[in-house]
Amino acid sequence: MPVTVLVVDDSGFFRRRVCELLSTDPRLKPIGTASNGREAIEQALTLKPDVITMDYEMPVMDGIEAVREIMQRQPTPVLMFSSLTHEGARITLNALEAGAVDYLPKNFEDISRHADKLARVLCDKVLTVARSQRGVLRGQPNASALRPPESRQRHAPAEPSPKPVPGGLRDRIQQRRQETQARQTHEPRPPVKPAARPKSNPRHFSLVAIGTSTGGPMALQSLLTQLPAHFPAPIVLIQHMPATFTGAFAERLNSLCKIEVREARDGDALRPGLALLAPGGKQMMVEKRGSGCVKILDGDERLNYKPSVDVTFGSAARVYPGKVLGVVLTGMGADGREGARMLKDSGSLIWAQDEASSVIYGMPMAVAKAGLTDEIINLADIPAKLISDVT
């Protein structure tokens, strides 16, 4: 049975084009369209699609309100189309909080010039969220569960110097991936350990490094808003996001959290009570300069993810051997597995989010299947465990 898709957009051209792109994959079947949020709700209730693609700006009812009502009445994975602007990022984050699973850039030029590539990305995303149904059933707390925003001074991000990712680290990551693929071909993997009630194991960490992708924005929001202002270790965050989104996401987190959160700038010092978010389209490395800092580099074309969890984790393993807590949260793919291996080899600890609370159980599953996890933990338990275990 093909995956059924409802396409929602106020542009007739865009609706037709998305349906055409979806129809290039025999595993997908567009079964209806809607031109506004109210129609989207009616069609969702009538057609019961497996996945909905949703625009934001529409007459009668916008996409966010439609997502919120669909989540209440007919929970369905929703993939938002978003403009790659600061305002588009803010709207998309609101849609994710309302219950949307993931997003794609809405770019008419790409539809005209790069239709084949866009079709592959769109179809792959729709198939992935359809297979996961967790995105709408195991979501994150809504805004009412979060404390009111606090005013906090913002700093304009400085442009980092364009430098390549050091070849040594890049080569180590690629070598680790090749070795892992070879082992997967010839050796059976141990089963994923079941999640258990987390045990307290207080330990001093010089750094907490958290990597995530699909489902990560709301997972990070849920986690970080529960940490106290005096959290005793520096935090680095690696979230797969476009360059225009990370600034808005950092601002959002900073307004909701007791700790300080900001988009990382080249040379930013690591200090307790501060979380630095890797800029989209760049790579963030940890350096032992002073008490520790981050280095922001241009994204290397040979690495799929910009930012990459592997790159940040790998650099942290070199700077703080045995003193890093690596946490891998929800996300597609396996970014973070080889970086986690480097951390583990240096004596550091690795936590992974469990399947039950993950929107997409890809990245944490890859780490768990590789036998690298010290603990597999439900998202709801991670904040309290961070507070009790990080000294």
Structure tokens of 36? Answer: 């506004």
Angle ∠(264,95,105) on CA atoms, nearest 5: 70
Structure tokens of 157? Answer: 């991000």
Handedness of CA 374, 361, 219, 235 (dihedral sign): positive
204 is catalytic: no
With 0-12 CB in 10 A as exposed, 13-18 as middle and 19+ as buried, what is 342?
buried
- DSSP, collapsed to helix, strand or coil, labels residue 5 as strand
- CA 361 – CA 366 distance, rounded (Å): 9
Selected catalytic residue, list 82, 132, 213, 308: 213
Residues 6+ apart with CB under 8 A from 111: 14, 17, 21, 118
- DSSP, collapsed to helix, strand or coil, labels residue 23 as coil
- CA 174 – CA 321 distance, rounded (Å): 20
240 is catalytic: yes
Residues 218, 139 contacting (CB under 8 angstroms): yes
Cα 337 to Cα 29, 276, 350: the distances in Å are: 34, 21, 10
213 is catalytic: yes
Selected catalytic residue, list 50, 62, 222, 240: 240
- CA 358 – CA 364 distance, rounded (Å): 8
With 0-12 CB in 10 A as exposed, 13-18 as middle and 19+ as buried, what is 317?
buried
Burial annotation 180-209 (CB, 10 A radius, 16+ → b, else e) = beeeeeeeeeeebeebeebeeeeeebbbbb
Selected catalytic residue, list 55, 335, 354, 389: 335
Active-site positions? 213, 240, 335
